[in-house]
Structure 1
């Protein structure tokens, strides 16, 4: 038996959060269903009220290898630290200053998109070095 994994985020603004994470992960927004030129066309055809069009969104790996990421609208905001978080592997194979320079560059791009930088851990005996960040809705993640 095989299983597939989808990562799901609760969100106030699924479309915007999907845009942020698509950039962070190198993903793209999921294409509309076959036969529709856009999601707006599909939702209109299905009779979904326009005020619900941003109630969900999804992003996918362009190569189809990594999990789909789904964003669903919820009424409540985030209230505590995540118990699970993503590590965005933005400097695989790099070490020392070269690694941290790559992570800093990626961190700045994500800050420009509405993310926030929380802390930086320097390389050491037990750490390769990483940057802790938040997405635009406050979900913590690491640039690793």
Structure 2
């Protein structure tokens, strides 16, 4: 039996704070408080060596149920489709037109935050509707 009880989702990105803010808004997550010896995250960043300032960010589920999300600055940009993506469960339990309307409303909210609508996949005989999107740095995710 595994001893692993939690996991973290890590994003490689160019602007960790920007991407973390986006995902906080998408998921209702929060940025945890800074280390005890710092009043703010800005104070923490100013205390770091220049090359490490703003090099990472974290957001977490305030209920403690969802995984912690970690965003780390990397020098290279995104060049290919993600091999792993998040499914943001906005339409759970809904079907047909009600589901599609709910997904489209959430899509509009996320586009206003900087996401990109890639395509809408309308329900067929086997699958319910979902919407493929990209976050503020082009990482794919699905609204389903």
TM-score of the superposed pair, with normalisation by structure 1: 0.92
| Total equivalences in the alignment | 142
Of stretches 19-28 and 80-89 in structure 1, the one that deviates more from structure 2 is 19-28
Return the alpha-carbon distance in structure 2 between the equivalents of residues 27 and 103 of structure 1.
19
Return the alpha-carbon distance in structure 2 between the equivalents of residues 32 and 50 of structure 1.
18
5+ residue gaps, structure 2, are none
Return the alpha-carbon distance in structure 2 between the equivalents of residues 49 and 31 of structure 1.
20
5+ residue gaps, structure 1, are none
Which structure 2 residues correspond to residues 119-138 of structure 1 after superposition, within 5 A? Answer: 119-138=119-138
Q: Deviation per CA, 1:101-143, whole angstroms, max 9, x where unpaired? A: 1111111111111110011111222111100000111100000
Return the alpha-carbon distance in structure 2 between the equivalents of residues 87 and 138 of structure 1.
15
- For residue 22 of structure 1, the aligned residue among 24, 29, 39 is 24
Conserved? CA contact 1:40–1:53, under 8 Å: no
- Report the counterpart of residue 109 of structure 1 in structure 2: 109
TM-score of the superposed pair, with normalisation by structure 2: 0.92
How far does residue 63 in structure 1 lie from its aligned partner after superposition?
0.2
RMSD of aligned alpha carbons: 1.4
Q: Deviation per CA, 1:59-99, whole angstroms, max 9, x where unpaired? A: 00010111100000000000000011000001111111111
Return the alpha-carbon distance in structure 1 between the equivalents of residues 72 and 20 of structure 2.
10
Return the alpha-carbon distance in structure 2 between the equivalents of residues 19 and 135 of structure 1.
11
